[in-house]
């Protein structure tokens, strides 16, 4: 049995790209998306300080609650939705199989 999960990135309405990612390496969603070629700046290196890895969770399993640091960063962004998360703060876990996210634009 493999511990890989399937994450789907919605690139346009109705167009989803599947990423298979291991859950046994402690990777964040941001690291997996960057490795797959998505243009994520991640200027803070995954410390929840810059917001350049902002994604909107569209569907899938429930994620752990965001930390206070993540919430503070999200609230400072020009666009925030109910599903907004920082992908650097989402550690991959086997329960996340089927997660669907959309990369949010960096400018409003």
Domain assignment of residue 23, yes or no: yes
Q: Give the tokens for residue 66.
A: 């965001």
Q: What band does 105 get if pLDDT is binned at 50, 70 and 90? A: confident
Q: Is the pLDDT of residue 3 over 90?
A: no
Q: Is 103 among the domain residues? A: no
Q: List all residues 6 or more positions away from 25 whose beta carbon is below 8 Å from its beta carbon.
A: none
pLDDT tens-digit readout, 9-27: 999 988 999 999 999 999 9
Is the CB of residue 57 less than 8 Å from the CB of residue 81? Answer: no
The CATH number given to whatever domain includes residue 74 is 3.10.20.30
Model confidence over 44-88: pLDDT tens digits? 999 999 999 999 999 999 999 999 999 999 999 999 999 999 999
Task: Report how far residue 50's alpha carbon sits from residue 66's, in angstroms, rounded to the nearest whole number.
Answer: 15
Range of the domain at 34: 4-95
């Amino acid at each position: 049995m493999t511990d890989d999960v399937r994450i789907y990135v919605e690139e346009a309405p109705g167009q989803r790209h599947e990423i298979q990612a291991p859950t046994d390496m402690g990777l964040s969603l941001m690291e997996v998306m960057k490795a797959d070629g998505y243009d994520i700046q991640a200027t803070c290196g995954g410390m929840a300080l810059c917001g350049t890895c902002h994604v909107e969770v569209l569907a899938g399993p429930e994620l752990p609650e965001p930390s206070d640091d993540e919430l503070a960063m999200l609230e400072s962004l020009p666009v925030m939705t109910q599903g907004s998360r920082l992908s650097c703060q989402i550690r991959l876990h086997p329960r996340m199989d089927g997660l669907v996210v959309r990369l949010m634009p960096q400018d409003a």
